[in-house]
């Protein structure tokens, strides 16, 4: 296949770019046509059975370092599907990370595009993963040779007819391109396990992250916190952390005030981000309810003689915590993302956060 002429890199806020899913037997007649709108997620399997759909990059050959590349598929609008598992088809030697977005509309009608999240409006080669006036949420994320993820029994991500998710968009971050200089191609992606059998427990993913900067030769805490202000009961079951090379530990907590007005911090997950960046079982599956706060800290240790800013490239940093949860009834959170300004502007200890009784959290406590 000819090389894809895409140039330039743009900031991806919190590594938020996502791609669409495909499963054997679910692809419409237009799957192999050039227009992304012709690639459909359909099914010919009996209701209740689980199928597997390969949602992969269409043999691309990236020629720009730190390129974020997206490809979409359209979900069959006449059927509601439930995604129940994710089996990655990628290695960290090729893909820095992958994200899977659920969109109302894709960012463009192209088969592939440069999908840096914050791109210049005048750059014709770039677009966001989802359309500018479209619903957008992260469904799944992968990095560092993470293994397969199966959702708990009875839990699924709803897509298609009765969902705001009409398209799936796959994003792959290609940090290094040396292996493509000879014209080699890549089909990194994820095999999606899906079913038409309704799931009473609907899955959602909440991404928490920060902006900010890390001083030279210093240890810095990148922190964020968001209150749950929707009348829903969340059952956390998995979490995933993400930083680049300076991350030492990433921790997430449910914060709730007791009857004495003291805030109690319950750990949801804590991980060295330089281990496989897969979804791990949550440290606590205790429900999260309206009025609770979810707080995240990334401990960063810099040995660089320069400031390191949050950004999309391998020379930048990120502080991300993905919380996967399900609800027993109704729909998942309207809130999909939660970001702070990060250091040196935002800390848990700032007077206006309302947080207190903050635990002492260091990398050495892993």
Known binding-site positions for Cu(2+): 96-97, 173, 242, 244, 318
Q: Is 97 a catalytic residue?
A: yes
Using CA atoms, how far apart are residues 216 and 36, in angstroms rounded to an integer? 44
Instruction: List, in sequence order, every beta strand (DSSP E) within 228-345.
Output: 235-242, 247-257, 263-271, 280-281, 293-301, 308-309, 320-327, 337-340
Q: Would you give the DSSP letter of residue 329?
A: S
Which candidate in 57, 96, 98, 278 is catalytic? 96
Binding residues, as ranges, are 96-97, 173, 242, 244, 318
**Residue 182 to residues 113, 174, 179, 212, 302, Cα–Cα distance (Å):** 21, 16, 7, 38, 35
Listed residue (237, 248, 355, 343) closest to 295, CA to CA: 355
Vertex 57: Cα angle to 55 and 70 (nearest 5): 100
Tell how strand 201-210 and strand 155-160 pair up.
parallel
**Could you say which of 222, 278, 300, 318 is catalytic?**
318
CA–CA gap between residue 302 and residue 123 (Å, rounded):
33
Between CA 242 and CA 143 the distance in angstroms is 8
- CA 76 to CA 43: how far, in whole Å? 8
CA of residue 262 relative to chain centroid, distance: 33
- Count Cβ atoms below 10 Å from residue 133 Cβ, excluding itself: 7
Bridge partners for 295 per DSSP: 225, 253
| Cα 226 to Cα 8: distance, rounded to the nearest angstrom | 33
Please tell me which residue in 57, 244, 300, 324 is annotated as part of the active site. 244
Q: Is residue 244 annotated as a catalytic residue, yes or no?
A: yes
Question: Is 173 one of the catalytic residues?
Answer: yes
Is residue 324 annotated as a catalytic residue, yes or no? no
In whole angstroms, give the CA distance from residue 80 to residue 77.
8
Tokens read off for 101: 């977005």
Reduce the DSSP state of residue 127 to 3 states and report it. Answer: coil
Quick one: which of 240, 236, 362, 208 has its CA closest to 299?
A: 362
Q: Which of 10, 171, 300, 324 is catalytic?
A: 171
- By the 8 A CB rule, do 96 and 53 touch? no
Neighbour order of strands in the sheet with 293-301:
219-227, 293-301, 247-257, 263-271
> Which residues are tagged catalytic?
96-97, 171, 173, 242, 244, 318
């Amino acid at each position: 296949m000819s090389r894809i002429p895409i140039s330039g890199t743009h900031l991806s806020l919190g590594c938020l770019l996502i791609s669409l899913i495909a499963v054997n037997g679910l692809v419409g007649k237009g799957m192999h046509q050039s227009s992304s709108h012709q690639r459909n997620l359909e099914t010919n399997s009996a209701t209740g059975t689980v199928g597997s759909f390969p949602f992969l990059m269409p043999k691309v050959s990236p020629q720009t370092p730190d390129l974020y590349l997206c490809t979409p598929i359209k979900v069959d609008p006449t059927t509601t599907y439930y995604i129940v598992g994710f089996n990655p088809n990628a290695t960290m030697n090729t893909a820095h990370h992958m994200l899977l977005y659920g969109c109302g509309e894709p960012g463009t009608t192209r088969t592939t595009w440069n999908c840096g999240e914050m791109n210049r409006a005048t750059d014709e080669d770039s677009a966001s993963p989802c359309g500018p006036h479209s619903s957008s949420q992260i469904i799944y994320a992968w990095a560092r040779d993470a293994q397969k993820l199966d959702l708990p029994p009875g839990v699924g991500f709803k897509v298609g007819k009765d969902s705001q998710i009409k398209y799936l968009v796959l994003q792959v971050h290609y940090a290094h391109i040396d292996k493509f200089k000879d014209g080699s191609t890549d089909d990194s992606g994820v095999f999606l396990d899906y079913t038409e059998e309704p799931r009473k427990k609907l899955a959602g993913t909440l991404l928490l992250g920060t902006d900010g900067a890390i001083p030279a030769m210093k240890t810095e805490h990148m922190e964020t916190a968001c209150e749950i202000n929707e009348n829903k009961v969340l059952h956390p079951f998995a979490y995933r952390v993400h930083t680049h090379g300076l991350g030492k530990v990433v921790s997430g907590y449910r914060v709730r005030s007791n009857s004495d007005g003291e805030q109690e911090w319950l750990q949801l997950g804590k991980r060295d981000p330089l281990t496989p960046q897969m979804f791990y079982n949550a440290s606590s599956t205790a429900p999260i309810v309206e009025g609770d706060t979810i707080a995240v800290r990334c401990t960063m240790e810099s040995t660089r003689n320069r400031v390191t800013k949050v950004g999309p490239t391998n020379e930048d940093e990120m502080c991300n915590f993905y919380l996967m949860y399900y609800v027993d009834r109704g729909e998942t959170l309207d809130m999909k993302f939660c970001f702070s300004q990060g250091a040196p502007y935002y800390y848990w200890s700032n007077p206006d956060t309302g947080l207190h009784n903050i635990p002492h959290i260091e990398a050495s406590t892993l």
